[in-house]
Amino acid sequence: MVYVRFGARLLAAVLMLAVSYLVLTACSQSEQTAEEYLMGTYVTLKVYSPQAAVIEKTVERLREIENLMSANLPESEVGLINGAAGKSAVKISSDTFNVIETALYYSQLTNGAFDPTIGPLVNLWGIGTDKARIPSNKEIERSLRLVDYRTVILDKEQQSVKLPYAGQALDLGGIAKGYAADEAKRILKANGITSAIVNIGGNIMTLGTRPDGNPWRIGVQDPLGPRNSYIGIIQLIDETAVTSGNYERYFEIGGKRYHHILNPFTGYPSRSGLLSATIITKRSIAADALSTAVYVLGLDRGMELVESLPGIEAIFVTDDFKIYLTKGIIQRFDLTNPEYKVENSGQNK
């Protein structure tokens, strides 16, 4: 009896020591975290730094980007460009100009699978809003005629953008969060931070390694499971991982799912046989545009495109529960969900 009590006390003492050790290590690494609702999604920042102010600076910058680029704010720069469609060019900040220029670059690269002039279709479907509905074929045809990235007029000297036809509308929802993640990283780095992770609604950006020197371990969302359930884990150092999927925003009618990634050629939510597409690379703006684009392109064309781009890797999940990896990510992906099978396009791990 006495022995047991003594044992319990000893255990308690050891536990106390362990707890104080944990608290100490946590303090020396000064983990600062913040959670905000921004850009229509949840944003989390985890920064290893003694200064708390750097998080505020970063969040402020994200808010600024949202106010410039949200298509839902009529007074944002994108709102002003859309308001002047068919009428005049609008002078804008270098921020918005660069994002539009980059968006058009990825439109060209993907032959229009990514198209920031998708606005009229996005508004027509209203997916994710209380006005979501299935439009008529006539309505889709009418909106489709306005969707064409090649019509956007950029004037570099004036730093202005013009949409030549009335009714046209830019929507940077497929790329602005990537830019925001890049900007968050730039600010953290400029403030001397060497270890951080930023999550903008599932768009992950890592800075450096974890404080213990190991790679960040990032779960790839299970497209069919509840939020924060994973198909597998990837290891990242100083890279970004961005996923586009049919599970983010959607509505269902008659057992059919209508989701928010639209095919600019058909005007309907993309049905390419993919449940999700994840892009892993350095720049989140590239990852964001490309994840949306390859989701539309589907496995074969998406895989071909990504393998042709240096420094860019991808994870495709198909609707028959198979996972396809580009060559450069095979060694860094660990399957954790046995319902899925890694195919590796014929290569062996």
CB of 113 to Mg ion, least distance (A): 11
Question: What secondary structure letter does DSSP report for 267?
Answer: S
DSSP 198-252: EEETTEEEEESS-TTSSPEEEEEE-TTS-TT-EEEEEEESS-EEEEEETTSSEEE
Instruction: Please report how many Cα atoms fall inside a 13 Å half-sphere around the Cα of residue 55, on the Cβ side.
Output: 21
The two structure tokens encoding residue 112: 């229009």
CB of 174 to ligand ADP, least distance (A): 3
| Start-to-end Cα distance in the chain | 56
Q: What angle (nearest 5°) sits at the alpha carbon of residue 277, between those of residues 274 and 280?
A: 160
* CA dist., res. 152 & res. 120, Å (int): 14
Cβ nearer to ligand ADP, comparing 101 with 191: 101
Partner whose footprint covers residue 332, from ligand ADP, Mg ion, none (CB < 5 to 8 Å by kind): none
Q: Are 86 and 165 in contact (CB under 8 A)?
A: yes
* CA dist., res. 302 & res. 199, Å (int): 24
Number of residues that bind Mg ion (CB under 5 A): 4
Rule CB under 5 A: say whether 270 interacts with Mg ion. no
Footprint of ligand ADP (CB under 6 A):
114-116, 118, 122, 171, 173-174, 177, 201, 244, 248, 260-262, 264, 288, 291-292, 296
Member of 119, 174, 223, 245 binding Mg ion (CB under 5 A): 174
Rule CB under 5 A: say whether 292 interacts with Mg ion. yes
CB of 180 to ligand ADP, least distance (A): 11
Q: Are 93 and 76 in contact (CB under 8 A)?
A: no
CB of 317 to Mg ion, least distance (A): 16
Partner whose footprint covers residue 173, from Mg ion, ligand ADP, none (CB < 5 to 8 Å by kind): ligand ADP
Rule CB under 5 A: say whether 182 interacts with Mg ion. no
Cβ nearer to ligand ADP, comparing 224 with 261: 261
Cβ nearer to ligand ADP, comparing 78 with 193: 78
Partner whose footprint covers residue 262, from ligand ADP, Mg ion, none (CB < 5 to 8 Å by kind): ligand ADP
Nearest-CB residue to ligand ADP?
173
Q: Which residues, in sequence order, are bridge partners of residue 160? A: 91, 155
Nearest-CB residue to Mg ion?
292
Member of 120, 288, 302, 333 binding Mg ion (CB under 5 A): 288
SS3 call for 35: strand
Partner whose footprint covers residue 116, from ligand ADP, Mg ion, none (CB < 5 to 8 Å by kind): ligand ADP
Stretch that binds Mg ion, among 209-217, 223-231, 280-288, 318-326 (CB under 5 A): 280-288
SS3 call for 324: strand
Q: Are 277 and 325 in contact (CB under 8 A)?
A: no
Which residues of this protein are in contact with Mg ion, per CB under 5 A?
174, 288, 291-292
